[in-house]
Amino acid sequence: MAVALDDLDRKILSELQKDAEQSLDEIARRVGSSKTPVWNRIRKMKDMGVIARTTAILDPEALGLEACFFVLIRTSEHEADWQRKFLKALKERPEVMEAHRLAGDIDYILKVRVKNARAYDQFYQALISEVRIYNVTALLSMEEIKSTTTLPL
């Protein structure tokens, strides 16, 4: 799955992560190359799936999404059918920003963005009514110290 990228590819990706709206000429200038090679490389990396998509990053506070919870989940159920239902529920809920299956003691972690604590409770009630869960711990974020989509290259 990993792909061979040279130094120029990495510089281009770094620029696109900083600001995907820069023109080709601008990017070319910054990475010390010119339009055609930059364009060819960008296209190749899109085709290969290194660049998945380009998106607008919005400010959650400005949209009134002021609460962020990390949810640690333990389950007693490990059958395929239960898991399918649980994953489906997570994928369908837009307030679930991230969901990971974990190694060890805790089975799943979620990151959930909502308007306020009440909205979180509604989400929680809906989730446990859809699937059986053994134990849930919610961690409330007081302050987002850092949040980046910029992967280290």
* d(C-alpha 117, C-alpha 8), whole Å: 46
25 binds DNA (CB under 7 A): yes
Helix (H, G, I), strand (E, B) or coil at 106: coil
Backbone dihedral angles phi then psi of residue 117, each to the nearest 5 degrees: -60, -35
Q: What is the smallest separation between the CB atom of 145 and DNA, expressed in angstroms?
A: 32
Beta carbons within 10 angstroms of residue 73's beta carbon: 23
The closest of 92, 127, 98 to 113, measured between CA atoms, is 98
Residue closer to DNA by CB (options 40, 141) is 40
> Six-digit token pair at 139?
């961690």
> Footprint of a second copy on residues 44-73 (CB under 8 A)?
48-66, 68, 70
34 binds DNA (CB under 7 A): yes
Task: Identify the residue among 6, 47, 81, 144 touching a second copy (CB under 8 A).
Answer: 144
Binding window for a second copy (CB under 8 A); candidates: 29-37, 74-82, 97-105, 124-132: 97-105
Task: Identify the residue among 18, 40, 63, 141 touching DNA (CB under 7 A).
Answer: 40
* d(C-alpha 146, C-alpha 133), whole Å: 30
> Six-digit token pair at 30?
């910054």
> Footprint of a second copy on residues 7-46 (CB under 8 A)?
13, 16-21
> Six-digit token pair at 127?
């989730």
Binding window for a second copy (CB under 8 A); candidates: 32-40, 73-81, 124-132, 140-148: 140-148
* d(C-alpha 12, C-alpha 8), whole Å: 6
Number of residues that bind a second copy (CB under 8 A): 66
Please give the residue ranges that form the binding site for DNA (CB under 7 A). Answer: 8, 23-26, 33-37, 39-41, 43
